[in-house]
Structure 1
Amino acid sequence: MNVFAASSYLLCFILMYSYGQLLPLTSDFIKQGYVSESMDEGVFAVHTLEIKSLIECALRCGMNLLCNAVDFCFLDGLYTCRFRYGHANLSNTITQCEAYENTASKDCPDGLFLRAQGICKINTDECQNDPCLNGATCTNTPGSFNCTCDAGWTGIVCDEVVSNRALNKPAKQSSTYTWSGVTYSSNLAVDGNNGTDFVVDKCSHTATGENSPWWRVDLQAVYFIKSVRIFNRGMDKYGIDTSDRLRDVTITVGLTESDVNTPCGVFAGPGTLSQVVDIDCSSVPKGRFVKISKTTKILTLCEVEVFGYSA
């Protein structure tokens, strides 16, 4: 062995024993950006180089100023440089090592999450990039995110339109109001017109003297119900405002017409002029019939939309 090679080997041994520590040969080295262990001196990262020569490894690990805290060179098919957290990696760019830890048998530190292969990885907040669309709410999860879609939207990022399952479907109500020769029947709430002028656009309306009125739609198929949208009455052409009648509303779902009692959600109210009320069914109940009921008199619905997916 020539003097240069011997010096290089010696350099590696010096590096291996620097700080008085030697990594066991059985340690599990992982790809760039991961570490095998965390010691008192700090978190260590590894970078596998495309190097097949111990001499070159010693030169590049030990003499590269960007790698000023390297401990040793180690052969694991290719040679690996190991260096301390906060120092540059060897990818020809000056970047910090990421604080990863091999921790298959213990919990990850704060700010990290455990991957399937038993490696802790820095948990970034994906919601900072606003991935959820159309008014959806983003919730950060370990390594990913979830979008809670507004009514009418679905998909991973809420970019897919959900069909209104109630449109032009058969509807019934507990009683019907008639005024000036116009019958304000239940089907007016599913006719596709979401205008809120009671006189011009026409809305469903129960009889004025009835207590605890209800309205019900037959979706003609079974769905998992995600949400119900109600268009409340607005100011009519006569300047009458009765929007506050929409209060104490309960939404229920059922598989049969005689048993529509599975809770979906509630709206306490009172409603406001032309208010669009979205009621999320957090339990995603399964049913064919959707019922809207209230404990006070008069139920007026300018339009009802039901969103869900096939059961």
Structure 2
Amino acid sequence: MLLSYLTITENLALKGTALQSSTYSIYGAANAIDGIRYAPGEASSCSHTDIELNPWWRLDLLDSYYIYKVTVTNRVDCCPERTAGVEIRIGNSLENNGNNNPRCGVTSLVPAGSSVSFSCGGMEGRYVNMYIPNIQEYLTLCEVEVYGTVKKQVIRMQVKAAENVDEAELKELVLNKLNQTLSDQDVTLTWRTQPNGKVFQKNRTVLKQSPVCSSLK
């Protein structure tokens, strides 16, 4: 019997709402969380502020989550220089429109039609801000993805397997099966590594349940 844990993360942005400091033409804040990374045309399906001092865009996740990754996608038609120096801030405060929350990272120039991801290490927060401080500029975002989890979205798994099982193959097999089952969900599955560097550990307790079971911890 082998014991392991899976952490489930999903693109939380799709469930949230968005605001921005101003809106240029028809390019509202919600365009950056519509699930469309790349679309042809001039800033198509992107959010876009006016040119202004300290422009910002804020995502409200509607609840506090542990944020592990934020991915930002630039427009496909132009203006990569506008993506430089965008601060990603995560937290629960709306002080200064949320722009005073702790910082996860700062973007460098993102080429047109490209995406860049930042590891946020489980920062906790309801609000995710994109903020360009101390400069007069447009802020354009074609997609913002926020991957995280609530505290209880960790699955404890027990798998009945032979003593000489190849753990690497087992890990891949179980993950592939779960991904197939959840193929219609926007989630990401990752294994939690044990302190000894392994994913699985042997459990001498034999359960009377089915060979594969899971419960929330």
Shorter-chain TM range is: 0.5 to 0.7
Q: Distance in 1 between matches of 2:74 and 2:21?
A: 18
**Counterpart pick for 2:91 among 254, 258, 273:** 254
Which residue of the partner structure matches residue 74 of structure 2?
A: 232
**Displacement after TM superposition at 1:273 (Å):** 1.4
Q: Does 1:175 align with 2:17?
A: no
* Structure 1 residues 1-311: aligned runs within 5 Å: 155=6, 162-178=9-25, 183-199=26-42, 201-208=44-51, 210-235=52-77, 241-258=78-95, 259=98, 260-267=100-107, 269-282=108-121, 284-295=122-133, 296=135, 297-311=137-151
Note the residue ranges of structure 2 that are not aligned, 5 or more in a row. 152-217
**Displacement after TM superposition at 1:250 (Å):** 0.8
Q: Which amino acid aligns with 2:88?
A: I
**Displacement after TM superposition at 1:272 (Å):** 0.7
Structure with more relative contact order (C-alpha pairs < 8 Å, separation 6 or more): 2
Which residue of the partner structure matches residue 62 of structure 1?
A: none
Q: Which amino acid aligns with 1:214?
A: W
CA contact (8 A) 1:232 1:272 kept: yes
CA contact (8 A) 1:168 1:187 kept: no
Q: Distance in 2 between matches of 1:200 and 1:168?
A: 23
Q: TM-score, normalised by structure 1?
A: 0.43
Superposed CA RMSD in Å reads 2.1
Identity, % of aligned positions:
36
Q: Which amino acid aligns with 1:171?
A: A
Note the residue ranges of structure 1 that are not aligned, 5 or more in a row. 1-153, 236-240
Q: Distance in 2 between matches of 1:185 and 1:231?
A: 16
CA contact (8 A) 1:198 1:233 kept: no
The DSSP-based 3-state class of the residue aligned with 1:167 is helix
Larger radius of gyration: 1
CA contact (8 A) 1:198 1:302 kept: no
The DSSP-based 3-state class of the residue aligned with 2:31 is helix
CA contact (8 A) 1:193 1:201 kept: no
Q: TM-score, normalised by structure 2?
A: 0.60
Q: Distance in 2 between matches of 1:172 and 1:251?
A: 15
Displaced runs of 4+ in structure 1, greater than 6 A? none
Q: Deviations over 1:263-289 (max 9, x none)?
A: 21121x22211110101114x211111
